[in-house]
Structure 1
């Protein structure tokens, strides 16, 4: 269970954030939301796919870390095995909350990285924010703005029917069969068949490049399968 509250310098003057990564620090999820401005960094390590949102936007892009709920093939108990950690993960245990038109920082007091004894302080001894919290504020703002940009990106792809569901059947080295289902990706044939006017409309706001980055990221599925093989070999 999470316990997000508005971050206040008086109430939370003693809060600290443990800097570690890994499953014992809350990094056990199989995916995290991402956005076009982050795609270049994300595809260095992770496949990017779409999941259904259940709201008017219909889809959102996510970075994939595993093949089933609670599986992060990049995380051990005490480490994250990739140079780049997506912003939606890196910002934990913080989140943005809306109060009227204002964006305010909240903190999940029940998150395993929160402490009052060890870690990075959030506030200075005599008031004011620490450099660590300033960096978190910047990350949260970039994440908020990036996730907001997904609506226009997804709408443009849907206009040209470029999002299609896909299923990935996986046979591991030990002979076991797995399946990744319930996600969508870019329809490459329709993307390649777009006429000049459509390409220009997608190119101007950066949607065309973002679509091709998603296509390119799918090569990382092979690496994700190999990580699954390594885990299966250890526990086999």
Structure 2
């Protein structure tokens, strides 16, 4: 279990963060969570689908990175290959947490928390410092704070986006199987995507509402992202000695 602590410039003054992307520091993941705020940038490089939370039944969008658990086809020996790294990856060992604050409208205050068990933590000089010598935030921490704020905003956009989709029956399950050039098969289950037939059947009034809310753009970003699925197969196939791939 991750061990999160509220970040402060006393207990964590000597903590540095590794920014190199590799499997040893936790980047070997099959998918990461995304949100409408990120879709325009993410769809240029990755396929985007939905998954369903088993405990709540709620859908959430994801960036697909591999065909099985622990597989990230966008990592190589030099780090992360595409020029755009998902925000959920860039946040590293940090999350937005909350502490009690009677003076705030909702009785709580957002704070930055750090996972003290993360392999990204280091004391080596090549790591990024969190604090300056006299306690102020480092440029890295300032950029991280802005990133976490954007992530928090993005996550808050997911429920209304998903509600608009489910209200209009626009999410459907999809199962895909691939056969790699060594004969191995991979089947992806538990993924959902946009129901294009249903989308095309919507009347102008509903389409107008989706457009004005910004949801229509997100829908098309997700649909466009699926063109990268073939490139993912090619990436996986490139790790094998023989050529040739087929979709099941």
Q: Normalising by structure 1, what TM-score?
A: 0.95
Q: 2:156 aligns with which of 139, 148, 152?
A: 148
In structure 2, the residue matched to 1:212 is 220
Please name the residue that 2:103 is paired with.
none
CA–CA separation in structure 2 for the residues paired with 1:152 and 1:200: 16
Return structure 1 stretches of 4+ with deviation > 4 angstroms. none
Aligned to 2:191: 183
After TM superposition, list the pairs within 5 Å mapping 1:41-190 onto structure 2. 41-54=41-54, 56=56, 58-76=58-76, 78-100=78-100, 101-118=108-125, 119-190=127-198
Match of 2:232 among 204, 224, 231: 224
Separation (CA, whole Å) in 1 of partners of 2:16 and 2:177: 43
User: CA shift at 1:232, angstroms?
Assistant: 2.9
Q: CA deviation at 1:174?
A: 2.2
Please list the CA deviations of residues 77-119 of structure 1 after superposition, one character each: whole Å capped at 9, or x if unmatched. 5511111111011101111112242111011111111012231
Q: What is the Cα deviation at residue 2 of structure 1? A: 2.1
**Aligned equivalents of 2:58 and 2:135: distance in 1?**
43
Instruction: Provide the aligned C-alpha RMSD in A.
Output: 1.4
Q: Which consecutive residues of structure 2, in runs of 5 or more, have no partner in the other structure?
A: 101-107, 243-248
CA drift at 1:231: 1.9
Q: Distance in 1 between matches of 2:118 and 2:75?
A: 17
Q: How many angstroms does 1:217 deviate by?
A: 0.5
Using the size of structure 2 for normalisation, the TM-score is 0.91
Match of 2:132, SS state, is: coil
SS of structure 2 residue aligned to 1:158? helix
Compute the displacement of 1:17 (Å): 0.6
Deviations 1:177-210 (A, max 9, x none): 2111111000000111111001011111100110
Say if 2:208 is the partner of 1:197: no
Other-structure match for 1:11? 11
Contact 1:165 1:182 in 2 (8 A): yes
Q: d(CA) in 1 for partners of 2:118 and 2:77?
A: 15
The farther-off stretch of 131-140 and 22-31 is: 22-31
1:142: Cα distance to partner? 0.1
Equivalent-residue separation in structure 1 for 2:218 and 2:136 (angstroms): 39
CA distance in 1, matches of 2:185, 2:14: 49
1:21 deviates by 0.7
